[in-house]
Amino acid sequence: MNSNNVMTGRTSPRRRKSAHFEGAIVKWIFFGCATLSILTTVAILVTLIYQASSFFFEVSLWEFLTGTRWTPILKPRAYGVLPLVSGTLLVTLIAAAVALPIGLMTAIFLSEYAPDKIRRIIKPILEILAGIPTVVYGYFALTFVTPLLQGIFDNLIIFNALSAGLVMGVMIIPMVSSLSEDAMMSVPRSLREAAYALGATRYEVSLRVIVPAALSGIIAAFILALSRAIGETMLVTIAAGATPRMSFDPMESIQTMTAYIVQLSLGEAPVGSLEYNTIFAVGLLLFFMTFVMNLLGFWVVRRFREVY
């Protein structure tokens, strides 16, 4: 290390100068690294918009956003994205119906009820759940959950929104619970103690004091989890089917925006063709939907945070 030299005062002016020079260069390199993240966002926007624009030269934005038929590969071709959007929303709604209540209750349990020992067992299990690749969830939905559901519902076909949505719900439980738990953990102890001192029971403290106090964080957790569900790809590609359909019937096969992008990518559509550019138009829409939700999530946290 150079510090020895500095201590004994034997640093030659030239060495100190070169060290200073090195420090300045390094600073600029690190600055470049940090700026790369902004370049990434710019690159995403530029490539998506550029590629999608050649699509929108041939298909009007209006037709794309309001059309109710999506058959870009089959004749007669139609480029209305709404069936893909409705498929995406259907799966997301089913997932939300599972993950939001269960994730929130899990968070309350972990934050307000569970003793430290049990927390230490449950948290790693949830972390494993969050770390399992989505292909695996797709396999699970298709080979385990769908046959199980077919035992209950006779009219359920192999590829269906219900099974994909339920499994996606389980998949995002850890995200909802860990973000909500963080929010509840940051509620000051004094609020809990005050409520207990007034004679409130544990569930009253949890539901009437802690949850309202942590509400901004919980809502942000919900929004971010839903944004994750909208962008989820492999699970719905495997289990939800490849039939773009304007329907909110969970028993049927549908296609999500993400699944369409994968389906077309698999086929290696010729670069520059109209089909090839459809995936960028769909991708751009997907990016905007998740972008708005993510910003909304951050905004809710900042705007409605209770300051203690």
Partner 1 sequence: MESNNITSGQLKPRRILRRTIGGFVYGLFLLSVCVGIVGLLALLYEVLTTGLPWLNWQFITDYPSRHPEEAGLFSALMGTVWLMAMTAIFTVPVGVGAAIYLEEYAPRNLFTRIIEINVANLAGVPSIVYGLLGLALFVTWFELGRSILAGSMTLSLLVLPIVILASREAIRAVPDSYRQAAYAMGADQWQVIKGVVLPSALPGILTGTILAMSRAIGEAAPVIAISALVYLTFIPSHPMERFTVLPIQIYNWVARPQDEFRGLAAAGIIVLLVILLSMNAIAVFLRNKYQIRSEE
Q: Which residues within the stretch 98-117 sit at the binding site for partner 1 (CB under 8 A)?
A: 98, 101-102, 105-106, 108-110, 113
CB atoms within 10 A of CB 85: 21
The one among 61, 128, 157, 194 contacting partner 1 by CB under 8 A: 128
β-strands 78-79, 70-71 pairing: antiparallel
Q: Cβ(282)–Cβ(261) under 8 Å? A: yes
Cα(128)–Cα(264) distance, rounded to whole angstroms? 31
Q: How far is CA 177 from CA 185, 208, 296, in A?
A: 12, 18, 19
Rg (CA), the chain: 25
Nearer to partner 1, 134 or 216 (CB): 134
The one among 15, 17, 18, 26 contacting partner 1 by CB under 8 A: 26
Nearer to partner 1, 79 or 137 (CB): 137
Segment contacting partner 1 by CB under 8 A, of 47-55, 76-84, 186-194, 210-218: 47-55
Q: How far is CA 142 from CA 147, 150, 163, 241, in A?
A: 8, 11, 8, 10
Q: Which of residues 272-301 bind partner 1 (CB under 8 A)?
A: 279-280, 283, 286-287, 290-291, 294-295, 297-298
Q: How far is CA 196 from CA 107, 113, 205, in A?
A: 20, 14, 7
- In this structure, what token pair is assigned to residue 108? 């309350």
Question: Is residue 44 a contact residue for partner 1 (CB under 8 A)?
Answer: yes
Q: Which of residues 229-268 bind partner 1 (CB under 8 A)?
A: 230-234, 237-238, 258, 261-262, 265-268
The one among 73, 135, 157, 194 contacting partner 1 by CB under 8 A: 135
Nearer to partner 1, 74 or 266 (CB): 266
Nearer to partner 1, 249 or 304 (CB): 304
Number of residues that bind partner 1 (CB under 8 A): 96
Q: Which of residues 140-179 bind partner 1 (CB under 8 A)?
A: 140, 142-144, 170, 173-174, 177
Whose structure tokens read 């738990």? 181
Q: Which of residues 172-231 bind partner 1 (CB under 8 A)?
A: 173-174, 177, 201-204, 206-207, 224, 227-228, 230-231
- In this structure, what token pair is assigned to residue 305? 């945070």
Nearer to partner 1, 76 or 270 (CB): 270
Q: Which of residues 53-92 bind partner 1 (CB under 8 A)?
A: none
Cα(308)–Cα(36) distance, rounded to whole angstroms? 36
Nearer to partner 1, 5 or 247 (CB): 5
Question: Is residue 3 a contact residue for partner 1 (CB under 8 A)?
Answer: yes
Q: Which amino acid is present at 221?
A: A
Give me the least distance between CB of 40 and partner 1, in Å please. 5
* CA 183 to chain CA mean position, Å: 18
Q: Cβ(168)–Cβ(239) under 8 Å? A: no
| Helix, coil or strand: residue 220 | helix
The one among 134, 216, 243, 247 contacting partner 1 by CB under 8 A: 134
Number of residues that make up the chain: 308
